[in-house]
Amino acid sequence: MRIPLRKINPSIEILAIVCFSAFVDNLGYGIIIPFLPQYAISLGASDLDLGIIFASYALVQLVTTIPFGLMSDRYGRRPFMVTGMLLLGAASLLYPLAGSVPLIAACRAVQGLAASATWSSAIALVADTFPGRDKGEKLGIATGITGVGGIAGPLIGGVLSDISFNLPFLLLAALSLAMFVYMFFRLKVTRKEKVIETLPYREIIGKALRIRNIVIIIIINVLTMIFWGFIEPLMPPYLSGRFSLSATQIGLIFGAASLSYAVCQPFVGRLSDRYGRKIFIVIGMALLAGVNIVIPFCGDPVSLTATIMVAAAIGTLAFTPLTPLAIESLQDEGIEAYATVNSLFGIAFYVGYSIGPVIGALISSYFGFESMFFFYSLILVTVLLVSQAYLKEMMKKEEKTVIKSTKNKSKFSIKRIK
């Protein structure tokens, strides 16, 4: 039986919109990876040109993520969510028309601008819509589905590009423009979505950076992305050389890891809603540090895939609670500029992702590729010690109410005694 759109729970519909928008955005990020470099080379692109094409995506986000976050807090989430899908659709339609390296780089830059617009508001919109203790579960759902889009992109792009060069772009354009139309008519500003009063940007950032939890989470993001900035480009050649795996087989390994991560995130988010964030972060870091060391010793693709899937599942323990903890830390200080502060985490992401390949290449050249896993485990141990020592667990709202009520009763009792 078909359910009329007007009967859909508004909060669930907003969550679905965020999830699908983020999925499509991440799908677009990876869909070009299997075939666009070869196409650019056929147009005369050098290695430097390829680097510029792929760097343009992150560079645009690095420049625009904080301004978009600030404007999202001031003017609302809807304009940026809608614009992000429209820009992604436009970039997708322009790719097949790009007949030179500069035009391809321009399309990738527009795609990065679309992602920046979408992500400046997506996570903040979930936090606005689910302000209670279930935000960890809902954020876990959103980020989990996003991860599925990231790994589905290369697989879908590889298959469709073998049929026709234009087909991956047409699919991406259809999905993003359909999402644009749906959001244009269905995404409404609810009473839970607050447009933040205009505050000086430096004041917002300054207040956020005085919160210890925020600083530690930013550090965790930078250190984590240093590792992934190295792993994503160099892990496939490593797997191909050691196990003679094809591109499809390598894609399946990454897909299995992404699926494991996506499936576990909502459950971990729900558990952290109930039992607290810090305990999962610390335990997750410890377990991940141990499993990470095992990966280089896997002697066949099956055991390697299983170990990576376990590592991905454990990774949800460490990383899923970070976003809700950050939001609760802001709420505790009376800061509701979620998108602006979330842009700080975006900056941390791009900084780590930019320097990761350089650091990883130096470590790999002197000590071998496998040593990178030991280096990452060392990072994780350092992070868990810092987290255990300095991360502050946020008190539940109902616990604050009980404490406040108890204090009031105590004051009343003292007055009566007097």
Q: In whole angstroms, give the CA distance from residue 381 to residue 362.
A: 21
State yes or no: pLDDT of 410 exceeds 70: no
Mean pLDDT of 189-198: 48
Whether 202 and 170 map to the same domain: the answer is no
Last residue of a domain, one of 189, 222, 249: 189
The predicted structure's pLDDT at residue 383? 85
CA 307 to chain CA mean position, Å: 22
3-state secondary structure of 198: coil
Least confident of 32-46, 101-115, 174-188: 32-46
Q: How confident is the model at residue 287 (pLDDT cuts 50, 70, 90)?
A: very high
Question: Would you say residue 92 lies in a domain?
Answer: yes
Mean pLDDT of 112-121: 88
The predicted structure's pLDDT at residue 371? 87
Confidence (pTM): 0.66
Question: Would you say residue 2 lies in a domain?
Answer: no
Tokens of 217: 């989470």
Q: Domain of 297: which CATH number?
A: 1.20.1250.20
Tokens of 214: 């925020």
**CB 221, CB 350: distance < 8 Å:** no
Q: In whole angstroms, give the CA distance from residue 290 to residue 348.
A: 25
Whether 210 and 184 map to the same domain: the answer is no
**CB 29, CB 110: distance < 8 Å:** no
Q: In whole angstroms, give the CA distance from residue 374 to residue 62.
A: 29
Whether 204 and 154 map to the same domain: the answer is no
Q: In whole angstroms, give the CA distance from residue 241 to residue 400.
A: 56
Q: What is the 3-state secondary structure of 238-294?
A: HHHHHHCCCHHHHHHHHHHHHHHHHHHHHHHHHHHHHHCCHHHHHHHHHHHHHHHHH
Q: In whole angstroms, give the CA distance from residue 166 to residue 164.
A: 5
Full residue range of the structural domain in which residue 261 is found:
198-395
Q: In whole angstroms, give the CA distance from residue 195 to residue 71.
A: 10
Whether 112 and 213 map to the same domain: the answer is no
Whether 88 and 185 map to the same domain: the answer is yes
**What's the mean pLDDT when you consider all of the chain?**
79
Q: In whole angstroms, give the CA distance from residue 225 to residue 322.
A: 14
Whether 100 and 222 map to the same domain: the answer is no
State yes or no: pLDDT of 66 exceeds 70: yes
**pLDDT, tens only, 130-179:** 876 666 677 778 877 877 787 788 778 877 887 888 998 999 999 999 99
Q: Which amino acid is at 315?
A: G
Question: Would you say residue 315 lies in a domain?
Answer: yes
State yes or no: pLDDT of 358 exceeds 70: no
String of DSSP letters for 365-401 = HHH-TTHHHHHHHHHHHHHHHHHHHH--PPPPHHHHH
The predicted structure's pLDDT at residue 133? 61
Q: What one-character DSSP code corresponds to residue 200?
A: -
Whether 230 and 113 map to the same domain: the answer is no
The predicted structure's pLDDT at residue 403? 39
The predicted structure's pLDDT at residue 366? 81
Whether 254 and 331 map to the same domain: the answer is yes
**pLDDT, tens only, 12-38:** 888 899 999 989 998 988 788 777 777
**Residues near 167 by beta carbon (within 8 Å), at least 6 away in sequence:** 160, 161
3-state secondary structure of 183: helix
Least confident of 19-33, 178-192, 218-232: 218-232
Q: Of 344, 302, 295, which Cα lies nearest the Cα of 323?
A: 344
Question: Would you say residue 280 lies in a domain?
Answer: yes
